């Protein structure tokens, strides 16, 4: 595997992945370089949506493809917003409205446990029966009000008790190490190394 396509247009993810996979001799290309359209994400689970996006990109390009699906799962809300995290408060997407709705739904709740989840799916070809799947989780709690200026999404409300900081108060380098996405990428790298050994 010399090249793989990233089923995302996110420049930050692309840069991060290229840095991680360069030592393995793998170049990561964005799906936009092939004019691949966004895939549908109709499924209720992160793994199904990640696989749908990876298969879509692989089918369109003929290359191995990697996709992720991630979001916030809140215990008191039965795992919501889950796969709907980015669109929790509807369209158009809005971090402010999503955070506001989350606080409204948790009003009066004593259980404020939550976790960020990231699932990565790598397919060697569009119909790959054995895709590489990696899932990372980051556990914390939802505060009653926002704290911190960094990050995005639910970061200002996601409190990490061990550090006494929200995800939005952490230095970006530390957040990348601790986060669900960082954990999933490390797990995927291990699986790739084992496969290429």
The catalytic residue positions are 69
- Two structure tokens written together for 146: 């926002």
Locate all alpha helices (DSSP H) within 22-121, ordered by sequence.
46-61, 95-105
Alpha carbons 24 and 193: distance in angstroms, whole number = 8
**Residues in a beta bridge with 123:** 65
pLDDT mean over 61-81: 97
pLDDT tens, residue by residue, 131-186: 999 999 999 999 999 999 988 899 999 999 999 999 999 998 898 889 999 999 99
Banded model confidence at residue 9, pLDDT cuts 50, 70, 90: confident
How many angstroms from the chain centroid is the CA of residue 110?
Answer: 27
pTM: 0.92
Tell me the CB-side half-sphere exposure of residue 170, using CA atoms within 13 A: 23
């Amino acid at each position: 595997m010399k090249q793989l396509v990233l089923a995302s247009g996110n420049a930050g993810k692309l840069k991060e992945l290229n840095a991680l996979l360069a030592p393995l001799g793998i170049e990561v290309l964005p799906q936009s370089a092939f004019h691949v359209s966004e895939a549908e994400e109709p499924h209720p689970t992160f793994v199904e949506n990640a696989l749908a996006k990876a298969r879509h990109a692989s089918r369109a390009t003929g290359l191995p493809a990697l996709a992720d699906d991630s979001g916030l799962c809140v215990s008191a809300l039965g795992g919501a917003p889950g796969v709907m995290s980015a669109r929790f408060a509807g369209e158009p997407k809005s971090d402010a409205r999503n955070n506001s709705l989350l606080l409204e739904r948790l009003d009066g709740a004593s259980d404020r446990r939550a976790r960020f989840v990231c699932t990565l799916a790598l397919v060697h070809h569009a119909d790959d029966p054995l895709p590489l799947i990696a899932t990372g989780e980051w556990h914390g709690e939802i505060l009653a009000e926002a704290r911190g200026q960094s990050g995005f999404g639910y970061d200002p409300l996601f409190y990490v008790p061990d550090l006494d900081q929200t995800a939005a108060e952490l230095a970006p380098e530390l957040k990348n190490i601790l986060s669900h996405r960082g954990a999933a990428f490390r797990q995927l790298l291990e699986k790739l190394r084992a496969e290429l050994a």
